[in-house]
Amino acid sequence: MRLDKNKSILFIGLVFLFQTTSVFAGGYTTKELIPGEAVGSNDFMTYLNSFYNFGIAISALLAVFMIGFGAFKYVALSAGNASTMSDAKETVYSAIFGLTLALIAWLILYVINPDLVNNSMTTIPTIKDCTNPANCK
């Protein structure tokens, strides 16, 4: 009985593996448009770049909003209460930290390959097989 259960789990795992790899093997069609994405683009890399740029834009907007909210909380809502002022400072510091983290992520990707953040990568690059010197040119 236990052997049959393991076989069925292995079968389900293999079906799942083949289903996920078929997305990359065949043409990828987007179901939903990401704001800022070119209409009618069915390329996976274009979709991924649009998703990344949308995420960076949302994180920047949220950071600016939270800095403003923390400043408003510090000035208008604290009314001299040290605990509320401390909480407002923590909100501003956290927003600045999150914005810095998003910009560092962008910088790391830009240093690795500028095409990753400039929407100019259209295909996933492959590594050349240099076991045969004729292939390495």
pLDDT at 85: 92
The set of residues, in sequence order, having a beta carbon less than 8 Å from that of 106 and lying 6+ positions away, is 56, 117
**CA count, 13 A, side-chain hemisphere, 75:** 5
Query: Across residues 9-33, what is the average pLDDT?
Result: 56
Q: What is the pLDDT of residues 79-134, one digit of tens each?
A: 888 999 999 999 999 999 999 998 898 899 889 888 777 766 666 666 666 777 77
Q: Which residue has the higher pLDDT, 74 or 28?
A: 74
pTM, 2 dp: 0.58
pLDDT(37) > 80: no
Instruction: Judge contact between 91 and 73, C-beta under 8 A.
Output: yes
